[in-house]
Structure 1
Amino acid sequence: MASGIQFDPAAIRALADILRETDLSEIEIVEKDSRVRVVRHVAPPQQVMVHAAPAPVAAVAPAAASAAAAEAEADHPGTVTSPMVGVAYLAPEPGAAPFIQIGAKVAQGQTLLLIEAMKTFNQIRAPRAGTITRILIETGTPVEFGEALLVLE
């Protein structure tokens, strides 16, 4: 090589593996006067049209009723709402006991649930001491900012 820069094919393969494992699209390593940049082009997902039979009206009514109940709970003074967009989890890990149950007494600052946002698990803590009277979400439920999560009385 005329330029004097030595490339390690094993190191480049390792960087490519890191890109695949982490779903990154690009990684760059700079050391003194040397620079290695590995870029992975990811094809956009293909849209697939699925034709499904229309859902019966009776199946929609319970969903509408539960949405109305959740909105009513949002007005309750003891409602704990989501401070962020993410996915809610009621237990610290799959198969573990949940942080809370209906009827459980909690202390101020106690962890009630986790919300995963951008691959970070954020603890949602009790704003005050009280008793859990309603849990409005299930584990793995996507939540929006301000969405009612549970009622603490």
Structure 2
Amino acid sequence: MKELAQLLQKAPGLRGIEFKEVKRLAELLQEAPEIGSIELKGLFGTGVVITRTGTVMLGMPAGAPLPATAPSGAGDGTEPVRAAPAPALKEIKSPMVGTFYAAPEPGAEPYLKVGARVSAGQTVCVIEA
């Protein structure tokens, strides 16, 4: 923690802070579980934010276990057949990881409905990082 305090003393204006020191701040953040993030603000809105990240597990609520059944074709050595994607549909991949919002606000109409045609530049969703 002493090393962290020494590095943070350089933060005003971010003058004199070097990349290796920012990297060390990130390492110290990982070593100090009681600290969630470090934000260094400099002059004119410049700055650095270092945030602890963790693995997020999304899951469905636990329900009653389903009875175990043998998959069809088990033991015959055949591979399962995967459905081919519909030729008229195109996949849109997000350039970042985040929370998907289909509408601009809760209760509002979604940007698109499933199966709708999309034009270049049209908003299809909001991804919040």
TM-score category of the 2 structures, normalised to the smaller one: 0.3 to 0.5
Q: Pick 1 or 2: higher relative contact order, CA cutoff 8 A, min separation 6.
A: 1
TM-score, with normalisation over the residues of structure 1?
A: 0.29
TM-score, with normalisation over the residues of structure 2?
A: 0.33
